[in-house]
C-alpha cells in the first residue's frame, strides 16, 4: 500500500533519491507531519475548500452507502462522519472537484520501479537511488524486501527510513537489501517516549543494537526530530551519542528541527493536531546541539 512516490528527494539518504512512502505506522508521535501515513490501508481525506456544494453537486451524498457524507441545516458544503466512514472510495469516484480523495494505492514492485527509474539519470553521479519511508516501511516487510531486492538487481542504491518499532523478523527480512539505514531515536527515556510517541522504546532500542551488530556492512544514520520542550536538550543529544558512538557503522547523527508543515492535513482526516502551541526550535539552541554532534563525530568516517 503506497502513499506517495516523491522524486528528487535530497534528505532521505545519500545523493538524489526517489522516496517511496508506504502506508502504516506503529507509532503515534504527537508532532507527526504525515498523519495520512499512519493508517495501514486506504483512507478518505476531505478538503472542504474544494467542495462545490450540494446546490451544484451533492453526488457524494448519494454515493455513500454508510450515510457518512451529509450536510447540516443550510450549509452548502458537505461534512464527513468519520466514525461511519469505511474508506470504500465511492464518494471519491463521484466527486468532480476532488474535494474527496483517498490516501493510499495498492501497487506492485514493477509499478513502483517504473516510477523510480524515471529518475535514474540522477542516481549515478549523485550516489542516489530509491528510499523507502512512511509511515513505517518495515510494517510491509515482504513488499519492502522484494522492492529493494529488485532495485538492487537493477543497480539502484537503496535506503530506508525507519523507527524500528517492529518485530525483529521484519528487520531481518529487509536489511539484507539495504545500503543505508536512516533511523529515528526520538527519546531515550522510556516514560517520556511513551508520553510523546505512544509506546515505550524497548523494542526500538533492542532492534537497533541488534541491527548494528548483525549488519556491520550497512551504513546507519541516527536521527532525532528536535521538538522544543520535548527533547531539545544537551541531555538528550548526549544520551543518543552514548548509545550510537560505540558502533562504527553508525556514520552520522542528524538533528531535524521540528516544523508544522503537515498541520493542515489533520483536518482533511477529521483529526486534531496535538502541538498547536509548539514552535520550531531556537536556531541558537539547535546550533549548539549540532556542535555537540559534530564534535562527537569529527573523526568518524562518513
Give the CATH number, domain containing residue 155.
3.20.20.70
What region, left, alpha or beta, does residue 24 occupy, with left being phi > 0 and alpha being psi -120 to 50 degrees?
left
62 and 145 fall within a common domain: no
Residue 73's pLDDT is 67
Report if residue 302 sits inside a domain.
no
CA distance 118 to 114: 7
152-211: pLDDT as tens digits? 999 999 999 999 999 999 999 999 999 999 999 999 999 999 999 999 999 999 999 999
Question: How confident is the model at residue 277, as a pLDDT?
Answer: 83
Q: Measured at the alpha carbon of residue 107, what is the angle toward residues 160 and 60, in degrees to the nearest 5?
A: 120
Backbone angles phi, psi at 267, to 5 degrees: -65, -35
Task: Say whether both 113 and 182 belong to one domain.
Answer: yes
- Is 237 within a domain? yes
Residue 6 has what DSSP assignment? E
Q: Looking at residue 294, what is its pLDDT? A: 95
Q: Are residues 93 and 123 in the same domain?
A: no
Residue 75 clears pLDDT 80, i.e. is over it: no
Residues 34 and 172 in one domain: yes
CATH of the domain at 54: 3.30.70.20
Which residues make Cβ contacts (< 8 Å) with residue 187, sequence separation at least 6? 193, 196, 197, 201, 230, 231, 236
Maximum C-alpha span of the chain: 67
> Would you place residue 135 in the very low, low, confident or very high pLDDT band (cuts 50, 70, 90)?
very high
Q: Choose the final residue of a domain: 103, 134, 153.
A: 103
pLDDT greater than 90 at residue 133:
yes
Q: Is the pLDDT of residue 144 over 70?
A: yes
Q: Report if residue 301 sits inside a domain.
A: no
How many domains does the structure of the chain reveal?
A: 2
Global pTM value: 0.93
- Mean pLDDT, residues 62-68 taken together: 96
Mean pLDDT of 135-150: 98
> 112 and 85, same structural domain?
no
Same domain, 239 and 178: yes
52 and 121 assigned to the same domain: no
Domain that holds residue 90: 43-103
Amino acid at each position: 500500500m503506497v502513499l506517495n512516490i516523491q522524486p528528487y528527494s535530497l534528505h532521505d539518504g545519500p545523493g538524489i533519491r526517489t522516496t517511496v512512502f508506504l502506508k502504516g505506522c506503529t507509532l503515534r508521535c504527537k508532532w507527526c507531519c504525515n498523519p495520512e501515513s499512519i493508517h495501514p490501508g486506504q483512507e478518505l481525506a476531505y478538503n472542504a475548500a474544494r467542495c462545490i456544494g450540494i446546490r451544484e453537486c451533492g453526488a457524494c451524498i448519494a454515493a455513500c452507502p454508510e450515510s457518512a457524507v451529509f450536510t447540516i441545516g443550510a450549509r452548502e458544503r458537505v461534512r464527513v462522519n468519520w466514525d461511519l466512514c469505511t474508506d470504500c472510495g465511492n464518494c471519491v469516484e463521484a466527486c468532480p472537484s476532488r474535494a474527496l480523495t483517498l490516501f493510499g494505492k495498492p501497487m506492485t514492485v514493477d509499478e513502483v520501479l517504473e516510477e523510480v527509474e524515471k529518475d535514474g539519470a540522477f542516481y549515478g553521479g549523485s550516489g542516489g537511488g530509491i528510499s523507502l519511508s512512511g509511515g513505517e516501511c518495515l510494517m510491509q516487510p515482504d513488499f519492502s524486501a522484494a522492492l529493494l531486492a529488485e532495485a538492487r538487481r537493477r543497480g539502484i542504491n537503496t535506503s530506508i527510513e525507519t523507527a524500528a518499532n517492529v518485530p525483529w523478523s521484519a528487520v531481518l527480512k529487509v536489511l539484507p537489501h539495504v545500503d543505508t539505514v536512516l533511523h529515528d531515536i526520538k527519546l531515550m527515556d522510556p516514560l517520556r517516549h511513551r508520553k510523546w510517541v505512544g509506546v515505550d522504546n524497548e523494542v526500538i532500542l533492542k532492534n537497533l543494537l541488534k541491527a548494528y551488530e548483525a549488519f556491520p556492512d550497512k551504513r546507519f544514520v541516527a536521527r532525532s526530530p528536535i521538538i522544543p520542550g520535548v527533547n531539545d536538550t544537551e541531555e538528550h543529544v548526549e544520551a543518543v551519542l552514548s548509545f550510537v558512538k560505540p558502533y562504527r557503522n553508525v556514520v552520522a547523527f542528524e538533528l531535524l528541527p521540528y516544523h508544522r508543515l503537515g498541520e493542515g492535513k489533520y483536518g482533511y482526516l477529521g483529526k486534531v493536531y496535538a502541538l498547536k502551541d509548539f514552535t520550531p526550535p531556537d536556531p541558537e539552541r539547535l546550533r549548539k546541539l549540532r556542535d555537540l554532534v559534530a564534535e562527537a563525530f569529527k573523526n568518524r568516517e562518513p
